[in-house]
Amino acid sequence: MEGKVVEVQAAWREGAHVDDAQYRAMYEASVSDPDAFWGEHGKRIDWMTPFTKVKNTSFAPGQVSIKWFEDGKTNVAYNCIDRHLETRGDQTAIIWEGDNPDESKHITYRELHAQVCRMANVLRNRGVSKGDRVTLYMPMIPEAAYAMLACARLGAIHAIVFGGFSPDSLASRIQGCTSKVVITADEGLRGGRKVPLKANVDEAIKRLGSDLVEHVIVVRRTGGSVAMEPGRDVYYDEAAEQVTDHCPAEAVEAEHPLFILYTSGSTGQPKGVVHTTGGYLVYASMTHQYVFDYREGDVYWCTADVGWVTGHSYIVYGPLANGATTLMFEGIPTYPSTSRFWEVVDKHKVNIFYTAPTAIRSLMGGGEGPVKKTSRQSLRVLGSVGEPINPEAWEWYYNVVGEQRCSIVDTWWQTETGGILITPLPGATALKPGSATRPFFGVTPEMVDAEGKVLQGPCEGNLCIADSWPGQMRTVYGDHERFEQTYFSTYPGKYFTGDGARRDADGYYWITGRVDDVINVSGHRMGTAEVESSLVAHPKVAEAAVVGYPHNVKGQGIYAYVTLNDGEEGDDALRKELVTWVRKDIGPIASPDLIQFAPGLPKTRSGKIMRRILRKIAEDDFGSLGDTSTLAEPAVVDDLIENRQNRP
């Protein structure tokens, strides 16, 4: 094989779900006859009405339509809870580890059932029924999972908004899916600091300026005092006392929406990605089992937040559908110390650990000491997700955290894909540091050049997927045309991921990052257009262009070029003001890292900003600007280089 290879260890193969030969045989079967393959694996979940049709999908221009198991009926909460009660009612479903290391609790499947039924009844008493949208703006507490599953139980559609988003961002998402009910907490707690969730909800509702939101359900987390609007707001514990812990799970069609999750793209406002019931759950549970080589009795921990897709598929739905014990962590990797992750691993004897490269890189900065003082003997599989993992971070994860004993799964996927698409399998795949390796069952990657020509063999190009898989998003909420336009029009007949990749001689994929105007900051997606529109909304700003640049810890940082209105002075005070402005407007994850005041931006004669040049200057790589002959005013480039902000 080409390049550095870490072979599958005998210990990883022992007891694993598949070895290399089995992977190859199953992969071949999955792509040569998807109906037969998924017809079989579709039965891994329980159906109230069994399906007879399996795959009915089209990527054809103008008629994109994706349906899986369409005549079956099931319920996601039933599959994640009820079906386990007989065999594992007393097994821990969720281990909750609080921000404060002295706080943790175990919730059994039986307790989970009672809690979810209660939450469902509280929702039902407030008029929530099948198809209604419910917005969740929650900290990482068990009630977040209860709320997700309670919606699923009723056939209601949850739309989670990450707790780090601003009131404005929250307002536009509540509006986007017209939620009449919002579930939140008084305050969140992260790294010892309080997050004013309820106050943000109040502010968001004020900005909506309508009576769209009829009910706000407030879980008491810190007990901090918050304003409660009579008739609209209710404390969850008080409402829960009024209802029973019995609530039937509603059988819904396989294609009934399970959730909406907003995500950034290269243009416009965030899109509401829609995932449905049957195919999503089959895919989330199957990938969870095979990718992490999940085994009966394992303690599994994914450090994501439920506000992101990773939290949906790999904290809640995949693991619980598999009857696993899933750990939910409220805190951050560096509180109270940089040993926290590993202390939690030891405390709860975690076997499978799944985190993001940005967390690994930030902990790497603290050296081996904080890791070495913990045991980590329980660990068997280490996962990575969210952005390309650089080989140095991979090696550190493998050598220091896993002591060369644990397999590493670098899992490539997206909000849109519902579950993992390209990944090693622990017992099957020889690893290459920095490569997401090979496609999961049923996934057909295709590399195309800029003209859409399909490339063969080793190559570099744009990553597409040729055919549908069960976990794929079905539409953009309320805008199917935008769905087709965004994902199926660049290379007609294919799903375009927005990522660039390299395929090596062994058929391994190396994701190189986004090829569109999306930047990836600490594993979080940000559209450059969103940050730009926030900046230009500032009264002193005339124009703005935002690009990503390499950042040691975050992967990419946000670099903003800002042109001020005539007469305005660009100084450090204004830089600070603009950072605060964007934080308030979108949320802390959108804060620009570097701001360069620019008298002019490089534009073509037709007025298009040449981002390629801006990216190069932000990368401090202006020796190779390429062709600048089409610029309207070539002189602006000299000024940009002269005043660049990213200097070693």
Does the annotation place 345 within a ligand binding site? no
Give whichever of 291 and 617 is closer to ligand 6R9, judged by the CB atom. 291
x/- binding map, residues 503-542, to ligand 6R9, per CB under 6 A?
--------x-xx-----x--x-x-----------------
Estimate the crossing angle of helix 572-585 against helix 167-176, to 10 degrees: 30
Q: How far is the CB of 648 from ligand 6R9 (least distance, A)?
A: 26
- What SS3 state is found at 494? coil
Among 60-68, 378-386, 391-399, 638-646, which window interacts with ligand 6R9 (CB under 6 A)? 378-386
Q: How far is the CB of 490 from ligand 6R9 (least distance, A)?
A: 14
Give whichever of 514 and 616 is closer to ligand 6R9, judged by the CB atom. 514
Asked if the peptide bond before residue 426 counts as cis, ω within 30 degrees of 0, the response is no
d(CA 101, CA 378): 19
Cα torsion 631, 636, 641, 645: sign: negative
Q: How far is the CB of 124 from ligand 6R9 (least distance, A)?
A: 32
Q: How far is the CB of 375 from ligand 6R9 (least distance, A)?
A: 27
Q: What residues have CB less than 8 Å from 76, skipping those under 6 apart?
A: 149, 152, 258, 277, 281, 317, 321
Give whichever of 147 and 356 is closer to ligand 6R9, judged by the CB atom. 356
Q: How far is the CB of 264 from ligand 6R9 (least distance, A)?
A: 8
d(CA 295, CA 287): 13
d(CA 483, CA 271): 9
Does the annotation place 295 within a ligand binding site? no
Give the residue nearest to ligand 6R9 (CB).
415
Give whichever of 54 and 558 is closer to ligand 6R9, judged by the CB atom. 558
Q: How far is the CB of 553 from ligand 6R9 (least distance, A)?
A: 16
Q: What share of the chain is helix, strand, coil (3-state, %, to 5)?
A: 35, 25, 45
Tokens of 9: 């260890």
Among 35-43, 97-105, 410-418, 468-476, which window interacts with ligand 6R9 (CB under 6 A)? 410-418
In the set 74, 121, 339, 411, which binds ligand 6R9 (CB under 6 A)?
A: 411
Tokens of 272: 């509401």
Give whichever of 326 and 596 is closer to ligand 6R9, judged by the CB atom. 326
Using the structure block, give the residue that is written with the tokens 């303690």.
Answer: 299
Using the structure block, give the residue that is written with the tokens 């281990």.
Answer: 95
DSSP string covering 53-97, please? Answer: --EEEE--TT--EEEESTT-EE-HHHHHTGGGHHHHTTSEEEEEE
Tokens of 151: 């919606």
Q: How far is the CB of 82 from ligand 6R9 (least distance, A)?
A: 28
Does the annotation place 412 within a ligand binding site? yes
Tokens of 146: 């209860």
Cα torsion 372, 375, 377, 382: sign: negative
Give whichever of 325 and 355 is closer to ligand 6R9, judged by the CB atom. 355
Q: Is 468 in the site for ligand 6R9 (CB under 6 A)?
A: no
Does the annotation place 192 within a ligand binding site? yes
In the set 58, 175, 414, 485, which binds ligand 6R9 (CB under 6 A)?
A: 414
Q: Is 413 in the site for ligand 6R9 (CB under 6 A)?
A: yes
Give whichever of 78 and 509 is closer to ligand 6R9, judged by the CB atom. 509
Largest CA distance in the chain: 74
In the set 142, 386, 418, 548, which binds ligand 6R9 (CB under 6 A)?
A: 386
d(CA 256, CA 590): 33
Q: How far is the CB of 436 from ligand 6R9 (least distance, A)?
A: 5
In the set 412, 440, 495, 508, which binds ligand 6R9 (CB under 6 A)?
A: 412
Contacts to ligand 6R9 from residues 52-91, by CB under 6 A: none
Total residues binding ligand 6R9 (CB under 6 A): 25
Tokens of 6: 């870490």
Q: How far is the CB of 307 from ligand 6R9 (least distance, A)?
A: 10
482 to 4, 198, 464, 517, 525: CA distances (angstroms): 42, 32, 18, 17, 19
d(CA 326, CA 546): 38
- What SS3 state is found at 486? helix
Q: Which of 418, 471, 445 is nearest to 57 (CA)?
A: 471
Amino acid in position 321: A
In the set 155, 163, 279, 388, which binds ligand 6R9 (CB under 6 A)?
A: 388
x/- binding map, residues 236-275, to ligand 6R9, per CB under 6 A?
---------------------------x------------
x/- binding map, residues 138-167, to ligand 6R9, per CB under 6 A?
------------------------------
Give whichever of 333 and 555 is closer to ligand 6R9, judged by the CB atom. 555
Bridge partners of 472, per DSSP, are: none
Does the annotation place 310 within a ligand binding site? yes
d(CA 618, CA 592): 12
Task: Characterize the bridge pairing of strands 133-137 and 181-185.
Answer: parallel
Q: What residues have CB less than 8 Å from 211, skipping those under 6 apart?
A: none
The number of CA neighbours under 13 Å toward the Cβ of 313 is 35
Q: Which of 128, 96, 97, 91 is nearest to 110 (CA)?
A: 91
x/- binding map, residues 307-326, to ligand 6R9, per CB under 6 A?
-xxx----------------
Give whichever of 92 and 497 is closer to ligand 6R9, judged by the CB atom. 497
Among 119-127, 149-157, 364-372, 379-387, which window interacts with ligand 6R9 (CB under 6 A)? 379-387
d(CA 159, CA 182): 9
Does the annotation place 556 within a ligand binding site? no
Q: Is 436 in the site for ligand 6R9 (CB under 6 A)?
A: yes
The number of CA neighbours under 13 Å toward the Cβ of 586 is 24
Which residues contribute to the annotated binding site for CoA?
A: 190-193, 310, 522, 583
- Note the residues at the interface with ligand 6R9 (CB under 6 A): 263, 308-310, 384-388, 410-415, 436, 497-499, 511, 513-514, 520, 523, 525
